[in-house]
Amino acid sequence: MDRISIYGISATGYHGVFDHEKRDGQKFIIDVVLHVDITRAAASDNVLDTVHYGEVSELVVEQIQAGPWDLIEKLGSEIADAILAAYPSVLQIDVVVHKPQAPIPVPFTDVTISLTRAQKQHTAIIALGANLGDPKATLAQAVKDLGQELEILKVSPLAITKPVGGPPDQPDYTNQVIEVRTRHSAHELLDLCQGIEAKHHRTREVRWEARTLDLDLITYDQLRLDDERLTLPHPRAAIRGFVLTPWSWMDPDAVLDGQLVSRLASEAADTKDIIRL
């Protein structure tokens, strides 16, 4: 995982067990390491696609000046929680709190605590498709159903696409892609999607058969997973124009496995037949 590191952020805080520490204050120094995928920022060269380390530094100073807390363990935890809440793209954070002026009655150089915290919010891409019944209405209801459990961040325009694989003579599909934020695990999100499919009478009798609703989990943060239930990123997403094209409409700078989704879409065999609604 890529990292953004900021060392030596300092400010006066009023943390400590003793009254004089809360009264007089002292210097605290903070190091933070942000574990975050910078592929998108490298492709776009746009500061909006990365974590602004200047803003992070200001947030750290705000936390140093907040409180006061008795323990630097508490200060470190507050800093980690504040950054993870403000920047969902940060998947993990390492924080070191230095207290070089701690009231210790023997010579010393520094006192530090170190902690690591993981992101509690996760970002996922879900692809929707249907070619039986009223696909437009079904997709709209599916997005609404997902929105009751997840935060919907972005929704793509609808796309009319030709069936890829499966039995012949199927109707055209209506496809869509959404970006969501959730506290569900990847498998919990899969369960949610399958429950919504079942609500819309989805069956799985023939591979790639016509369907009332299909919900595919495409990506979940930067997680790589391959078990009996779920593979992430989706193993065929990089060649499926009916996923890539609406995804690129929704987010022109989106990246999948280090490649621009828009570029992958232009190379997919089925893209030429896609109609944007």
Active site residues: 99
129 bridge partner residues = 175, 214
Contact between 230 and 217 under an 8 Å Cβ cutoff? The reply is yes
Q: What is the DSSP letter of 48?
A: G
Residue type, 249: W
Where does residue 45 rank: exposed (0-12), middle (13-18), buried (19+ CB within 10 A)? exposed
Contact between 106 and 156 under an 8 Å Cβ cutoff? The reply is no
Per the document, the length of the chain is 277
Spatial neighbors of 92 by CB under 8 A, at least 6 apart, are: 1, 35, 116, 117, 118, 119
> Distance between CA atoms of 122 and 64, rounded to whole angstroms?
27
CA proximity to 28, closest of 69, 84, 88, 83: 69
